A and B are shown apart, each in its own frame.
Chain A
Amino acid sequence: MNDTPTSWDRAALALRLLLVPDAGLGGAVIRMRASPARDQVLTQIKSLGARKMHPTISDDQLFGGLDLAATLERSQLIENKSFFHDRCNAILTMAERCGPDLAAKLAQELDRDAGHVIIALDEGAEPDESVPPALSERLALHIEPEGRMPASWPSVPAGTNMRSAQGVAVSDSDIETLTTLAAVFGIDSLRAPWLALRVARAHAALQGRKSVTEDDLNAAAELTYPQRATRVPQDPETAEEPPAPPEETPDEESDGESQSLELPEGDLLVEAVKALLPPDLLAGLVPAGTTRGSSGAGAGQRRKGNRRGRPLPPRPGRLDGRARIDLVATLRAAAPWQPLRRQSAPDKKGLHIRPSDIRLKRYEEHSDRLLIFTVDASGSAAMARLNEAKGAVELLLAQAYAARDHVALIAFRGEGAELLLPPTRSLVQTKRRLAALPGGGGTPLAAGLRDAALLAEQSRSKGLSPTVVVLTDGRANIALDGRADRAAAQIDADQMARLMRTQNIAALVIDMSNRPQEPLRALSAQLGAPYVAMPRADAERLTGAVSAALDD
């Protein structure tokens, strides 16, 4: 149980590094739920004097702009100061809800390298909920203490009298070490070694050193790399040469350059970082090439109500740089009050408009569709079916822009169902995820329907309109609890179908068996869904059938 205090020690170290002047670390992601422990963590960086920022901050507040209330009151231009006007330290609360647009704007500010520090408080409960990668990539440190906070935390209080990180000497071999180490862990972005170098400098400054030592490199690697790693290096004992960083590099080449590939500190650094890798990476749960947090959410998931679509009646509100003012409605709202206001402020010329008169334009638009392919991957025909479903998914995605479709794929086989492709519009991601498709086993139709219904519910809350497309050749034979009981399986499947109908989830049943199956027709009746018999369906015909059924 030695692990618990060290994760807190690292957190304390990271917080102290943030206070080092001129370090240029960009900031930190603190992944903790709101708790007294987190408050304790935040008091450590109080001396930064950070201002709070919330994920729905308006452009006016962020970049400065018209202060409407003050402007109207005094009839002269009053501007808000930009958040980043001076060197600023910001705490981004609920950072996991920060949208890609805010992340992009903050990234732009960080790229200016003006010494801003952003502390992103990530309260995500699920691995999927996290800070957008565009932002987290630019924040050097990642703080995620585990377990209980030790009683005497932090053991070393954050100092006040700090050296500047500027001017700490770094040797070429230090740079090589950090870069090679990043490559060993499959970190493609070159921002990682660059930030690690800055962390090493800051660490040296913290220790009062004038040049970077092994100790500093170690600390930098431990603090910067684990959360960015995309793979676990091979065991150096079994692999003779140091692991060739990218797959494309031929082995001879890495032999020839063994000088630059060899870590001066041996495998100690690799081991140190390896010990800190997040558990899901070690379990091989993260597919190569994806970093944590990229949930594959493409454009067009969030629908705002004030930019396009069918106009709705205007609504009172604040001008925040996103909404558009409805000028006529605003004037109309202000008109009845003019005589009264003129009496109360006789000196003011012109119209008397108060912030409460402001009316904003609103629009309504249809949300995007999500097609959830639920594919029977059981038995001998599984491979063919899965491949056709895969082809159909890709074809539909190719037309996705015209139809505004997102696509997801669930396969059910053996004892349960599996989400093979989370909702996406990205062809690239689809190709990678669907490269290997598992098949064979029983037909847990009920489990497939359950997962599809669950996904449909989730996607609804994100503003998509889901449709479930079931591809099967019938005969459910695995019950929800995993038993091979044909009768129970049929009952479960019928129950799930009825449940989906009560949840009002649109569906389509495609029967891919050689002869139309009566139970499937019954199932589609339960679902209230169209039934299409399509023996030997191929990707093209499948796409056609789905499109035709959806356009009804």
Chain B
Amino acid sequence: MKTPFPFSAIVGQHEMKQAMILTAVDPGIGGVLVFGDRGTGKSTAVRALAALLPEITVVESCPVNAATSAECPEWAELGSKKRVKRPTPVIDLPLGATEDRVVGALDIERALTRGEKAFEPGLLARANRGYLYIDEVNLLEDHIVDLLLDVAQSGENVVEREGLSIRHPARFVLVGSGNPEEGELRPQLLDRFGLSVEVRSPNDVAERVEVIKRRDAFECDFDTFMTHYGAEDAKVRETILKARRRLPKIKTPDSLLEDCAALCIALGSDGLRGELTLLRTARALAAYDGARTLKRDHLKAIAPSALSHRLRRDPLDEAGSGARVARIVDEVLG
């Protein structure tokens, strides 16, 4: 496996990078949806994220990456119970993956050859405590989407089929990417993503040239390049760890709660998930910025990502929902 392109060497795309970092600070934010054209660095960023994230401690043979052997599910046949450090898992969910591969299924091989009933864990088990990445999420078959929704919400995967009854924790951050021209995403799934960002190709030729130069340097002058950006990545990792420690201590003034509510009412977003995510993400941003108290600026900075995908879609509105959010944020928060 080759070293992925370093996260900090990605040119521009500030909103996407910020959203991904914030889910690393607080996994409870609930996933990122990245919509944009091809070749804008969506998959590069996700693969880079895997290398950026701090390591986690897991029981070596545990199929669901449990931290202690007490937390391992009882159906797992544990080999070594040693606790080891592993990179945060970032699991790809390929299009066309079967339900069996996603949730896990009866181990057919053992059932047929040895007549044993055993569970073969799926991708959800492997993604526990990490990230689940779905490229072209808008092309995913509806029944897989339903299944993911259900698990993402409950944090637990329940398999009841073929005489198996098995459950295991499946807490992961969903990262989806796609090109909206090839099909839209169901509103139910949209709402389930905490943040949504739109990426575009950079407009500026100088910036585009810089992208290609860095890519080229990564390939041809790997060592120098990695020495520089590896150190940058380490800085980001350090900041994420610090932010995680600081996060519970962030003070939230009541006036800001009111701001959140006012914003969501003005936007007419359905349900309360908008407010909750907005607040949570703003706190994560404050922690990442090293602040002690949540400020209005944090809300403003994060509102488009946290809210733009939660609006009632008005099909006759020509401007995008991102523009609508920005306008109303300006009106409400001044």
Contact = CB atoms under 8 A, between A and B. Distances in A.
Nearest to A196: B212
Nearest to A65: B109
Interface stretch (B32-40, B255-263, B286-294): B32-40
A319 B108 contact: yes
Contacts of B316: 391, 394-395, 539
Interface stretch (B14-22, B182-190, B326-334): B182-190
Given A66-B109, A190-B201, A104 B98 contact: no
Contacts of B202: 190
B95 A111 contact: no
B297 interface: no
Contacts of B159: none
Contact of A175 (B38, B135, B212): B212
Contacts of A516: none
Given A249-B204, A300-B142, A189 B38 contact: yes
Nearest to B47: A111
A551 interface: no
Contacts of A77: 109, 113
B135 A104 contact: yes
A249 B162 CA distance: 59
B100 to A, nearest CB: 6
Contacts of B111: 327
A540 B227 CA distance: 61
Q: Most A CB atoms within 10 A — which of B106, B139, B202?
A: B139
Contacts of B135: 104, 107-108
Contacts of A75: 113-114
B79 interface: no
Interface string A389-428: 0010011011011000000000000000000000001111
A193 interface: yes
Contacts of A76: 113
A322 B101 CA distance: 9
B271 interface: no
Interface string B137-165: 01111110000000000000000001000
B272 interface: no
A537 B17 CA distance: 47
B203 A307 contact: no
B136 interface: yes
A197 interface: yes
A188 B183 contact: no
Contact of A429 (B162, B181, B315): B181
A175 B208 CA distance: 10
A319 B115 CA distance: 18
Of residues B41, B135, B200, B204, which shows the largest number of chain A Cβ atoms within 10 Å of its Cβ? B204
B140 to A, nearest CB: 7
A431 interface: yes
Contacts, number: 189
Contacts of A100: 95, 136, 139, 182
B296 interface: no
B96 A296 contact: no
B204 A175 contact: no
Interface stretch (A177-185, A375-383, A452-460): A177-185
Contact of A426 (B106, B181, B201): B181
Q: Range of interface residues on chain A?
A: 35 or more
A137 B39 contact: yes
A299 B141 contact: yes
A445 interface: no
Contacts of B108: 66, 68, 319, 325
B201 A188 contact: yes
Nearest to A395: B315
> On chain B, which size bracket covers the interface?
35 or more
B38 A133 contact: yes
Most B CB contacts (10 A, CB to CB) among A137, A188, A298 go to A188
Contacts of B180: 426, 428
Given A101-B95, A175-B216, A248-B203, A427 B113 contact: no
B313 interface: yes
A246 interface: yes
Nearest to B161: A324
A351 B94 contact: no
A193 B208 contact: yes
B182 A183 contact: no
B175 to A, nearest CB: 14
A137 B162 contact: no
B242 interface: no
A299 B134 CA distance: 15
Interface in B121-142: 135-136, 138-142
Contacts of B47: 111
A332 interface: no
A504 B266 CA distance: 49
Contacts of A401: 184, 186-187
A107 B94 CA distance: 10
A72 interface: yes
A481 interface: no
A356 interface: no
B213 interface: yes
Given A104-B94, A246-B203, A426 B184 contact: yes
Contact of A134 (B38, B114, B187): B38
Interface string B186-208: 11000000000000111111101
B133 to A, nearest CB: 10
Given A100-B182, A190-B40, A298-B184, 13 more contacts: A166-B220, A176-B205, A188-B40, A190-B211, A193-B208, A197-B212, A197-B216, A294-B182, A296-B181, A299-B139, A299-B141, A350-B113, A426-B180
Interface of A: 24, 59, 66, 68, 71-72, 75-77, 99-102, 104-105, 107-108, 111-114, 133-134, 137, 166-167, 170, 172, 175-176, 178-180, 182-183, 188-194, 197, 245-246, 248-249, 253-254, 257, 260-261, 290, 294, 296-300, 307-308, 319, 321-322, 324-325, 327, 350-351, 353, 391, 394-395, 397-398, 400-401, 425-429, 431, 539
Nearest 10 Cβ contacts at the A-B interface: A189-B39, A101-B96, A298-B183, A394-B315, A101-B95, A191-B39, A398-B315, A188-B201, A104-B95, A246-B203
29 contacts: A100-B95, A100-B139, A104-B139, A175-B216, A178-B212, A183-B208, A190-B40, A190-B211, A192-B39, A194-B212, A197-B216, A246-B203, A249-B204, A260-B209, A294-B181, A296-B182, A298-B182, A299-B141, A307-B143, A325-B108, A353-B112, A394-B316, A398-B313, A425-B183, A426-B180, A426-B183, A428-B180, A428-B184, A429-B181
